[in-house]
Chains A and B, each alone.
Chain A
Amino acid sequence: MTLRLTDAEVSKFWNDRHQRESDLKSGGHVSYDEATNTMFYLRRLSMLMDRIGLQSNPVAPLYLLDAGCGKGYFSRELAKFGHQVDGIDRSEAAIAQCREQGGGPRYHQTGLADWRTPWLYDAVFTVDVLFHIMDDVEWERATRNLASLVRLGGKLIIGDWGQDNDHVFGSYQICRGRDTYLPLLDACGMRFDSWEPYRFRRSPIGFYTFTRIG
């Protein structure tokens, strides 16, 4: 049986990794080289654009939350499209690097379950982050909190695998199944729209998309 890391150990693991690895590799796939990670990031960015939409207005922009932003790749790219982006991450090292790079988004060092704001978002997305929360109670707190931040008609986009049943990969990854996500988010007033795989190499992960209807 593989030893699971505690959430504190996972936090430390990511903070160290963000300090140690390059921009894309630290938050991307550690087995891929920089060029492959560049493609991997672009693929997921393109899928996010499909879900967030292709409209932008500088006077009345869209408001997005990048939950678990790492070093801020998606936050910066989406800010380039004119959207107002908040990036949150628990890693002090990652947030420090995000702020150093600037580029428009506003960053806050906080856990996914702990982010509080007086504002709701048009879209909340979390790219390949929730499956690194090893504690089920903390995972549910985080998922519920992210859902509560989506305005009526807004989207919640979650990167995880699309099969039923939870599955543990290694010591720091638990993919929660479709049969875990759908009932929980249905109870939160979110309608399940789709799950689409990344179709990147053999990755089993893809994006769930939910819309707030109640």
Chain B
Amino acid sequence: MLVRELLPLFEDVTTILEVSESGKALQEQLRAPEEAAYRPYVPGEKMDSGTVVVAFLGPNPATHIDAATVAPALQELPLGGRALLLLGWPVADLPYHGVLDELINAGCQVLQVIPLDNAVGHRAHCAVLAARVDRLAPLRPYLADEPVVVDGDAPDLRALLRLTGEKVFSDLLDRPLRRKLAEAEDRVSEQDEHIKQLEKDLAARDATIAKAETRLARARNDIAKLQASTTFRVGTTIVQGARRPGKAIVSVPVGLVRIWRKRGVTGGTTDRPA
């Protein structure tokens, strides 16, 4: 459901009181009807059954208020007064206990909790529709989008038996699911730790490889310098001459002359004393 589809679920709205201080943000998103007055909540304000209390609640103090802050407004709601609370926690992790506590303490029935199609810049993931009652209001199915009826027929015994029965069974079935979820989260957490450790090991190996490559490059450079040195080339010429004594009588003097001619050209050390 879209945020703008929420207020039409409440009929006969005359006044909308915002407890959170969103500026114009919530008013614009709700597209409050022109015939209803929209203003900030002031403690002690006179309310009637046409009043709807609205607020952003959630984890971010910059954009949300907490459940305790909305409590005074809920407690001042008269019978038939309604509340529309937009919650900023993701539905899958919704910590509803604080909000539920304040609603019940204020004598409000939770009529419906509706997931929102767009997360409104993470300001709201779902909306709670509630009303101040002195007897149970008719039960609403999940994702119902017809207008809320607060003063209709209260659920009969059969409906209450179904409600308590569903609660008892879901209480049993929740437990293994909750455990499985917690264990899955533990495994994910362990895997994350394992991945972090592997990444550390990998980084350590990368650092070792980089060091080895540096050493290798240095060694290659040293070899190149050595091979370019006069000493090495003279030595090589003489060794080649020793291996082929027949040619040495020509090749050694020629080689030594070449080395002498190219002195200083190869970039190698001349082995001259400073």
A-side interface residues toward B, CB under 8 Å? 59-61, 63, 84, 106, 116-120, 141, 144-145, 147-149, 187-189, 214
Measured CA separation A60–B176 after assembly (Å): 5
Q: Nearest chain-A residue to B95 (Cβ)?
A: A116
> Is A149 within 8 A of B176, CB to CB?
no
Task: Give the docked Cα–Cα distance between A60 and B178 (Å).
Answer: 9
Task: Please tell me if the beta carbons of B172 and A147 are within 8 angstroms of each other in the complex.
Answer: no
Q: Does B157 contact A (CB under 8 A)?
A: no
Which single residue of chain A is at the shortest CB-CB distance from B66?
A: A141
CA A184 to CA B94, docked complex, whole Å: 25
Q: Which residues of B contact A187 (CB under 8 A)?
A: 105
Q: Which residues of B contact A145 (CB under 8 A)?
A: 97-98
What number of B residues sit within 8 Å (CB to CB) of A?
Answer: 21
- Contact for A148 among B89, B98, B182, CB less than 8 A: B98
Contacts of A144 in B (CB 8 A): 68, 101
Q: How far is the CB of A19 from chain B (nearest CB, A)?
A: 23
A–B complex contacts, Cβ < 8 Å, 10 sampled: A61-B175, A63-B175, A84-B178, A116-B59, A120-B97, A141-B68, A144-B101, A148-B100, A188-B101, A214-B104
Q: Are B97 and A60 in contact (CB under 8 A)?
A: no
CB of B179 within 8 A of CB of A84, answer yes
Q: B162 → chain A, closest Cβ, in Å?
A: 17
User: Is the Cβ of A148 less than 8 Å from the Cβ of B97?
Assistant: yes
Chain A interface SS verdict (over half)? loop
The reply to whether B94 and A118 form a contact with Cβ atoms under 8 Å apart is yes
Asked if B175 contacts A188 (CB within 8 A), the reply is no
B260 at the interface (CB under 8 A from A): no
Complex: A116 Cα to B89 Cα, angstroms: 10
Q: Contacts of A147 on B, CB cut-off 8 Å?
A: 101
Pick the 4 closest A-B CB pairs, nearest first.
A116-B95, A60-B175, A148-B101, A148-B97
Q: Which residues of B contact A141 (CB under 8 A)?
A: 68
Report how far A120 CA is from B98 CA in the complex, Å: 11
* A59 contacts across to B, CB distance below 8 A: 175-176
> At the interface, yes or no: B186 with Cβ under 8 Å from chain A?
yes
Q: Tell me if B93 counts as interface (CB < 8 A to partner A).
A: yes
Residue of A nearest to B96 (CB): A118
Cβ of B170 to closest chain A Cβ, rounded Å:
12
Return chain A residues, CB-CB under 8 Å to B95. Answer: 116-118
The answer to whether A84 and B182 touch across the interface, beta carbons within 8 angstroms, is yes
Contact A188–B182 (Cβ < 8 Å): no
Cβ of B47 to closest chain A Cβ, rounded Å: 21
Q: Is B62 an interface residue when CB atoms closer than 8 A count as contact? A: no
Q: Is B92 an interface residue (CB 8 A)?
A: yes
A148-B97, A148-B98 in contact; A60/B105 too (CB < 8 A)?
Answer: no
A contact residues around B105 at 8 Å (CB): 187-189
**Extra A-B contacts (17), CB below 8 Å, given A59-B176, A60-B176, A188-B101:** A59-B175, A60-B175, A116-B89, A116-B98, A117-B97, A118-B92, A118-B94, A119-B178, A120-B97, A141-B68, A144-B101, A145-B97, A145-B98, A148-B98, A148-B101, A188-B105, A189-B105
